[in-house]
Amino acid sequence: MAQEAQKERSMILQKEMIEGLFNDLGKAKETGKKVCYTFVPGNLSELIRTFDMLPVYPEINALQSAMRKKSASYIKEAERHAHSEDVCTYVKCDVGMMMKGNIGPTGEKIPEPDILLLSYTGCFTFLKWFETLKREYPNAKVIMVHTPYQENAKITPEMTQYMVKQFKEEVIPQMEAVTGIKYDEEKLKRILALSKEAEDWITKIFDTTKHKPSPIDAYFAGVYYIGPINIGFRGTQEAVDYYKELYKEIMERVRLGLGPITPEGEMKEEKYRLVVEGPPNWTSFREFWKIFYDMGAVIVASSYTKVGGVYDMGWRHDPSRPLESLSEYCMNCYTNLNIPQRIDLLSKCITDYKADGYVTNSIKSCNSFSAGQLGMMREIEDRLEVPVGFIESDLVDPRYFSYSNIKNRLESYFQMLEQRRIIHESETV
């Protein structure tokens, strides 16, 4: 029973944080707080917080809308306004939501942006997304930072300098102008110290999948765990407290030898350990998850949970080099890694967490993730001789989630894993 109470505590904490944020957003006009729209990959939460602004993440709103079964009508609305069928469905969902009154997940209206901050340019769609929003919100200030791609698999000092220069000359002066608040580097440093702390905790949390059985599902539950760190709470004491609490609960599960919790209770038998590449489908999130846990499959690592920051290789925000550190963070986001880097990262996950298989969920409308996915899969298959599976769905458009096709492929995949396991076991006996 104690364990039940603990489980609830981290969830309550998270719920309070999110509700608090949306309440603040709802009252932004009264309190005079400025609102900054930005995206999760390469987000500058710490800088936004330094200027006492409130963040809004359009893609988070889109996925929340999908989970609340509202995305279909939002997408329809956007398509009615000439957004093509092939456009990223996050964009259409967000645009549709805005057109239908911009009501957020808690039922409160989301305030208009004072700043549209684009701090990651690796996703071309982001640029177009904000161009669209700029037309709708002509008073918003657009701040765009060019993020160099890690083409040669490293961040050079020149790349960092190039970004710091943009921060100093573009981002900070414009934020000062909009908020009327003077840039306070000491404040930023304090926030960054808390970011580092939260990052240490979340790394430890995702590392608990080393245990057998894994106490958590690093994809389907993982997307909840990354919530606070990805929606603006990185750099707060609340986030540190949340992750500490969560880690404590997970370690209790490890102590008791328990597997992950699913929507239908605790997973009884861990049969397969998988690494998943690509975002999940949000419109049928529960059904999608169920296919996995019904088969006894637990995800021990996923690339999607690294979308808001890659901490596996030891990188952390560094208060002693505030702007340099923010630059590195932007350049170090998962989809800004080149393909060989992603392969190395995923291979490390497969090896470290002793995964039995590797599954790609390919999202047609998401170029940032989908480009190179097949090549990555082949390379990982060749390098590690791990069975690979490939499924296709969409982010938030329910029309592109075909339950029976996905189930058919996954069933075949799990049967394939089962066979290989038998072969492997017989060879080792």
At what angle are helices 58-67 and 89-99 packed, to 10 degrees?
90
Closest to other proteins by CB, 136 vs 411, is 411
**Cβ at position 358, least distance to other proteins in Å:** 10
Of the candidate residues 154, 374, 383, 403, the single one contacting other proteins (CB under 8 A): 374
DSSP 8-state class, residue 113: P
Q: Is residue 278 within the footprint of other proteins (CB under 8 A)?
A: no
DSSP-based three-state secondary structure for 211:
coil
Among 378, 383, 399, 403, binds other proteins (CB under 8 A): 378
Q: Which stretch binds other proteins (CB under 8 A): 185-193, 272-280, 313-321, 418-426?
A: 418-426
Q: How far apart are the first and last CA of the chain?
A: 41
**161/415 with CB nearer other proteins:** 415
CB of residue 218 vs other proteins: minimum separation in angstroms? Answer: 23
Instruction: Please select the residue that binds other proteins; options are 244, 270, 390, 398, rule is CB under 8 A.
Output: 390
Answer for which of 381, 383, 399, 403 binds other proteins (CB under 8 A) is: 381
Say if residue 47 is exposed, middle or buried (CB neighbours under 10 Å; 0-12, 13-18, 19+). buried
**List 389, 393, 397, 401, residue binding other proteins (CB under 8 A):** 389
Site map for other proteins, 397-416, x if CB under 8 A?
Answer: -----x--x--xx-xx--xx
Instruction: Give the binding range for other proteins (CB under 8 A) out of 56-64, 151-159, 164-172, 380-388.
Output: 380-388
CB 330, CB 47: distance < 8 Å: no
Q: Contacting other proteins (CB under 8 A), which of 153, 177, 313, 423?
A: 423
Select 111 or 389, whichever has its Cβ closest to other proteins: 389
Name which of 104 and 387 has its Cβ closer to other proteins: 387
Give buried/exposed letters for 155-181 (b at 16+ CB in 10 A, else e). Answer: beeebbebbbebbeeebbeebeebbee
Cα dihedral 44, 46, 47, 53, rounded to 10, equals 100
Q: Indicate the pairing of strand 265-266 with strand 261-262.
A: antiparallel
Cβ closest to other proteins, residue 22 vs residue 414: 414
CB of 415 to other proteins, least distance (A): 5
> Please, what is the minimum distance in Å from the beta carbon of residue 84 to other proteins?
18
Per-residue tokens: 272: 């397969």
Task: Annotate each residue in 316-355 with x if it binds other proteins (CB under 8 A) or - if it does not, as one string.
Answer: ----------------------------------------
Beta-carbon contacts of 144 under 8 Å, excluding residues fewer than 6 positions away, are 118, 121, 127, 130, 170
Cα angle 195, 197, 201; round to 5: 115
DSSP 109: B
Enumerate residues 6+ apart whose C-beta is below 8 A from 208: 214, 215, 216, 247, 250, 251, 254
The strand order across the sheet containing 35-38 reads: 54-56, 35-38, 115-118, 141-144
Residue 348 or 421 with smaller CB distance to other proteins: 421
CA pair distance 24, 17, nearest whole angstrom: 11
Q: Which of 224, 203, 329, 344 is nearest to 280 (CA)?
A: 224
Residue 4 or 427: the one with the smaller Cβ distance to other proteins is 427
Among residues 371, 415, 377, 395, the alpha carbon closest in space to that of 284 is found at 395
Please tell me whether residue 419 binds other proteins under the rule CB under 8 A.
Answer: yes
Which of the stretches 11-19, 58-66, 297-305, 384-392 binds other proteins when contact is defined by CB under 8 A? 384-392
Our finding on whether 371 is near other proteins (CB under 8 A) is no
Please identify, among the stretches 139-147, 192-200, 343-351, 387-395, the one whose residues bind other proteins according to the rule CB under 8 A: 387-395
CA dihedral 59, 122, 132, 87 (to 10 degrees): -70
Interface with other proteins (CB under 8 A), residue from 387, 394, 395, 396: 387
Interface residues toward other proteins, by CB under 8 A: 374, 378, 381, 387-390, 392, 402, 405, 408-409, 411-412, 415-416, 418-420, 422-423, 426-427
